[in-house]
Every structure is written in C-alpha cells, then in structure tokens.
Amino acid sequence: MTRKVKNIGVLTSGGDAPGMNAAIRSVVRSCTYYNLQCFGIHKGYEGLIEGDIRELNARSVRNIINKGGTFLKSARSQEFRTPEGRKKAYDNLVKYGIDGLVVIGGDGSFTGALKLSEEYGFPVVGIPGTIDNDINGTDYTIGYDTALNTVVDAIDKIRDTASSHNRLFLIEVMGRDAGDIALNAGIGAGAEEILIPEEDMGVDRLIESLKRSKKSGKTSSIIVVAEGDKSGKNIFELGEYVEEHLKGYEVRVSVLGHIQRGGAPSCYDRVLASKLGVGAVEALLAGKTEVMIGVVHKNITEVPLRTALEKKKYKHDKLIKVADITSI
C-alpha cells in the first residue's frame, strides 16, 4: 500500500538552466492546489545535507516565472556522493517531515536521487533541467529552448561582423556530448558548417567543404562547433588549422560560454517547466517514485529514472541533411 504524501521537498541541482524557477513555482503551487506542504531546499543536495530548508507557499514564488537561474540556488555536492552524506540528507528530510522529493536537474542529480530512494526507500521524482537536452526519455529538457534562442541571437550578431570583414568564425556552443544545440542553432542561424559529436566529419572534409563554399561566392562563413565535437582538436587548434589550409579568410574563434545558461526563459521553457512541475507533484501523490516527468510528442510522460539515465539515442540524420542542403 502506498503512503499518502503530505510534505514535498523541491531542489535544483547541477548546472542551472533557464526555466528552473518556473518549475519550482509550478511544484510549489501544485502543492498548494493539492493541500500539501512544500519545502524549498537551498543549494541542491548541499543544502539538504546542511538542513538549509524553508517552507514555501504560493506567494513565495511570485515574480519568478520570468527569471533565469534558480532562486533556490544550485550546487554540486561531493558529500552527497558518499553514504554518510546521504544519511545526513535523509535525516534532514525526516526532521522536516518531508515524504517526497522533487529533484530538478540533470543525470548526476537523478543518480543521486536514485541512491536516496534505493538506500532509504525515499520517494523521488525527477524533472529534467539542463540546457544540453541530453536526458533520455524526454524530447526536451527545461532550458534547452532558451539556450537555443540565446545561441542563435549571438551567432546573428557575430555574422554581422563576419560579413563586414570577410571573416570565418568558429563558434563553440555548449551541449557537452550532445550536438542538439549546435545542430539546431546552426540551422537556425544559417551556419555554413556544423560540427557535432554524433557525426565526426573530419577536418579535411571540413576544409574541402569550406573551399567549395568560397568558390560558390561566399565571402564569410560561420562554423558552429559543439563543445563535445570529436575532431580531435580544440576550437583554437581547429581555428589555426583552418587558417593554415584555407587562404583568403581571417579566422576568428568565439566561445559563447556561460551566456548560454542565462537569461529569461523562453515561453516554451516556462510552459514546459509548468507542465513538468504539475506532473511531478501528481506523480508523487499517485504513489510513484524513481520516475522522471518528461515530454514525448507533446505529451507529459513518466519514465523510470533508470531509463532517463541511459544514453540518449539521437536521430539527427534528417536534420543533418537539412543543414547540408540549406547551407549550399
């Protein structure tokens, strides 16, 4: 028989992502709606271990839906990786009477949540919050859409200077081992070439392709490089290689970095976060545990956390073809 959940804790963990605030807000207000108490845990698992926990009500989360970052703050906790750390965390959950936990974060945060569940039978539900869109079992993660728009906006601006000076820009974007941001932002910003970890085109093919572009009349080029790209060269080495092998262009390198994580969440991310927050509370209320709330073909879904932790399989073929055709 499942125990009825009465007090829900919520935390954000790992890298922050735009839309995390909207997810917290949704969890808190779902608790109000279902007559549950909600506790905000500050600084992720670190705050759980330290007991940095405060009760939240519907008014505590006003005016945050439009804000980037996470007002609960996030952290990476080494101590939570140890059984002793998780024992302290569990003791604090018991101390506050929390009987269900919503973890908003990426795969590391979900691994930690699973351990808490396995070791103490504590009910946990995950919400995917990371700009990388690298979580299995959901089409989108919270923050990804905003990051895409930020990247496209930045590339548009870089293109203005690239085309004014006959320059070739290599632009590194985030995504870790996933090429989703690079591929989609690259298409959206009209990049000439896109290097992603899932498809190693090789530097020589890149040079040949750039030569063809130049021959066809292009006077500037944008190459989007995913940070996990498998060319074997970091972006600065790649820039030097291109400059050596392709005459007639000034090559510049731009690493977009943390601007991709910040900013007001897009409407898509706000709505997604709101839906996943409601889904997470409803899942805990229904006695579910060790699940992640995600979105598949626009439907809110529950998948086992273990499935969410499997490597995501990307089907990029069609998009790669679109990129090839539209960059001719």
When the beta carbons of 46 and 192 are compared against ligand ATP, the nearer one is 46
Q: Bridge-partner residues for 40, per DSSP?
A: 10, 54
Residue 229: active-site member: no
| The amino acid at 72 | L
Read off φ and ψ for residue 133, nearest 5 degrees: 55, 40
Q: Report residue 209 as tokens.
A: 């392709």
* CB closer to ligand ATP out of 65 and 142: 142
Q: Sketch the per residue contact string, 73 through 92, with ligand ATP: x for CB under 6 A, - otherwise.
A: ---xx--xx-----------
Nearer to ligand ATP, 15 or 265 (CB): 15
Q: For ligand ATP, which is the closer residue by CB, 91 or 243? A: 91
Question: Interacting stretch for ligand ATP, rule CB under 6 A, among 93-101, 106-114, 275-283, 311-319?
Answer: 106-114
User: Is 250 assigned to a binding site?
Assistant: no
Among 100, 106, 265, 279, binds ligand ATP (CB under 6 A): 106
Q: How many helices (H) and strands (E) does the chain have?
A: 11, 11
Catalytic residue among 16, 132, 145, 269: 132
What is the DSSP pairing of strand 124-128 with strand 167-173?
unpaired
Which one of 7-15, 55-63, 163-171, 281-289 is the stretch in contact with ligand ATP (CB under 6 A)? 7-15
Return the half-sphere exposure (C-beta side, CA atoms, 13 A cut-off) of residue 255.
Answer: 10
**Is 279 annotated as belonging to a binding site?**
no
Would you give the binding string for ligand ATP spanning residues 19-58, x where CB under 6 A is met? --------------------------x-------------
Smallest gap, in angstroms, from Cβ of residue 80 to ligand ATP? Answer: 4
| Closest C-alpha among 149, 160, 173 to residue 255 | 173
Of 126-185, binders to ligand ATP (CB under 6 A) are: 130, 132
> Does residue 219 have a known ligand-binding role?
yes
Euclidean distance between CA atoms 264 and 18, whole angstroms: 6
Instruction: Specify the residue, 80 or 96, whose C-beta has the smaller distance to ligand ATP.
Output: 80
Which pair of structure tokens corresponds to residue 120?
Answer: 């103490």
Distances from the Cα of 170 to the Cα of 145, 198, 205, 223, 323, angstroms: 22, 18, 16, 5, 16
Closest C-alpha among 9, 105, 83 to residue 48: 9
Structure tokens at 302: 């529950």
Give catalytic residue positions: 132
Per CB under 6 A, residues contacting ligand ATP are 13-15, 45, 76-77, 80-81, 105-109, 111-112, 115, 130, 132
